[in-house]
C-alpha cells in the first residue's frame, strides 16, 4: 500500500514503498527512452546530429534546477542526467549511423 515516508512505521513498509517508487521510476525511464528513439527518427529525417551540445546543456541545467527545486543535490542529479544523456546520444549515433 502506498504510504508517505512519515506514515511508515516498519522497515518492511519503507522497503515496500521504495520498491514501488523504483518501479514507477523505471516506467518513467521507459517512457523517456521511447522519446529518445523517436528523436533519432526525427533527427534522421531532418539531418540533425545525435549530439546537440546546446540541448545537452539545457537538459543538464534542467536536471540540476529540478533537483534543487525538490531540495535535492543538484550536482548529484545533474551527473545522473549526464549519464542518461551520454547513453541516449550513443544510441542515437548508432541509429543514425554516426559511429
In a domain? residue 82 = yes
What is the pLDDT at residue 99?
A: 73
What is the secondary structure of the chain as a DSSP string? ----GGG--SHHHHHHHHHHHHHHHHHHHHHHHHHHHHHHHHHHHHT--S--HHHHHHHHHHHHHHHHHTT--HHHHHHHHHHHHHHHHHHHHHHHT--
Q: What tens digit of pLDDT does each residue of 3-40 get?
A: 999 999 999 999 999 999 999 999 999 999 999 999 99
How many angstroms separate the CA atoms of 57 and 82, rounded?
Answer: 9
What is the pLDDT at residue 43?
A: 96
Are 91 and 51 within 8 A, CB to CB? no
In a domain? residue 77 = yes
Instruction: Residue 75: give its domain's CATH number.
Output: 1.20.59.10
For the chain, what is the domain count? 1
Grid-cell match 522497515, residue found: 11
What is the pLDDT at residue 17?
A: 97
In a domain? residue 1 = no
Q: What tens digit of pLDDT does each residue of 74-97 get?
A: 999 999 999 999 999 999 999 999
Domain range enclosing 24: 7-96
Q: What tens digit of pLDDT does each residue of 48-72 get?
A: 999 999 999 999 999 999 999 999 9
Amino acid at each position: 500500500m502506498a504510504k508517505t515516508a512519515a506514515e511508515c512505521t516498519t522497515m518492511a513498509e519503507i522497503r515496500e514503498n521504495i520498491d514501488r517508487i523504483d518501479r514507477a521510476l523505471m516506467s518513467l525511464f521507459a517512457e523517456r527512452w521511447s522519446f529518445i528513439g523517436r528523436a533519432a527518427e526525427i533527427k534522421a529525417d531532418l539531418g540533425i546530429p545525435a549530439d546537440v551540445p546546446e540541448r545537452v546543456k539545457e537538459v543538464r541545467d534542467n536536471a540540476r534546477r529540478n533537483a534543487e527545486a525538490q531540495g535535492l543535490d543538484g550536482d548529484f542529479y545533474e551527473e545522473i542526467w549526464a549519464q542518461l544523456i551520454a547513453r541516449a546520444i550513443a544510441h542515437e549515433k548508432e541509429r543514425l549511423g554516426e559511429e
